[in-house]
Structure 1
């Protein structure tokens, strides 16, 4: 569990700089240059992600069961992750109505993904992993909305075509992950009981 926690601290710590230390981030970007900052940020993030994967894998070998979720929670989680994938797609597809309305769909996608997995999993490692991501997403969304208000950010209006492309991209990515990649990469098939 120590490796998982260390990975979470590195990965989410790097992704929390704008939440807790915006002025420090600005100074470091000026000192290191844009590419230097991105390089350090990327290295810390990759190291953290690798430790998360390794630590979570180790923790799953000796699971500590905290609670056993009802079977229905897996179905709810599958539905919630569908929305999560659509939100994440909305972060990248230009001029879609979802981003125009929600402003920070990537963070909302992470929030919904983490909540879905907390509902469907009751092992200690799952609670630590998904709980950490959910807490981070809540704090990051709040900080991003505060920055938007402070800067007077205006998001471009979405178009019907952009919104349709976003929904289709999210659904296709969700289906590929839910029916194939999740079992292949994580070792758990979301739809098998």
Structure 2
């Protein structure tokens, strides 16, 4: 439990520096741009490793079950994850998806978190995915406030359909790999097995 919580604090804490400019800006100035980015990456990586290991260890202990997901939720979760896998690469491509959603990365994180909360009612899962969902919502609110205050300027670009097609193709391929083998290999649970068990 402690390992996962420490990992969450490190990972989401590093990613929350932009949400609280009064904390992130002085740190960036003190360290310099390059050192700041390196430190940010190292802390994020350590946090990710700790929360992954901590989650697995806590889950293996047989943690408390807060709720039992309704039958059929695994199918909805698979559909939501397909959306998340398409939206995620769209965050880096100048397409209509990115222009419409404005912040596809946060949409992908929220969709991923909700999908997993639909099928996981154990305490570590609720804490993990609930924390990411809360962070993404707070980050989106922060972006709106910073934009109104003139502290953030959305990127300006001409959307291209080729970028959308690329996002969809990448999303479908990576999604297929995750459903087929990668999720089982990385997480230890097969989404297909969960869906077929319902």
TM-score when normalising by structure 1: 0.93
Between the two proteins, the alignment pairs up a number of residues equal to 191
Is the Cα contact below 8 Å between 1:108 and 1:141 reproduced in 2? no
CA distance in 2, matches of 1:117, 1:69: 10
SS of aligned partner of 1:51 = helix
Match of 1:87 in 2: 87
The question of whether the paired residues in 2 share the 8 Å contact of 1:103 and 1:155 is answered with no
What do the CA deviations read for 1:80-105 (whole angstroms, capped 9, x no partner)?
01111111111122x21111111110
Computed over aligned residues only, the root mean square deviation of the Cα atoms, in angstroms, reads 1.4
C-alpha distance in structure 1 between counterparts of 2:126 and 2:157, whole Å: 37
**1:14-52 Cα shifts (integer Å, max 9, x gaps):** 1011112x1332222122111110111112111111110
SS in 1 for 2:29: helix
User: How far apart are the structure 1 equivalents of 2:156 and 2:87?
Assistant: 16
Aligned to 2:3: 3
Q: 1:135 to 1:96 in 2, by over 3 A?
A: same
Query: In 2, are the aligned partners of 1:91 and 1:104 still within 8 Å (CA)?
Result: yes
- List aligned pairs for 1:1-193, cutoff 5 A: 1-20=1-20, 22-63=21-62, 64-93=64-93, 95-151=94-150, 152-192=153-193, 193=197
Deviations along 1:140-161, one digit per CA (max 9) or x if unpaired, are: 1121233234335353231111
Runs (4+) off by over 4 Å = none
In structure 2, runs of 5+ residues without a counterpart are none
The whole-number CA distance in structure 2 between the counterparts of 1:110 and 1:88 is 8
> Is contact 1:77-1:117 (8 Å) kept?
yes
Name the CA distance, whole Å, in 1 between partners of 2:162 and 2:149. Answer: 31
Distance 2:71 2:4 in 1: 27
Structure 1 residues 61, 142: CA separation in 2 closer, same or farther (over 3 Å shift)?
A: same
- The two structures have a TM-score, normalised by structure 2, of 0.91
Distance across 1 between alignment mates of 2:13 and 2:109: 16
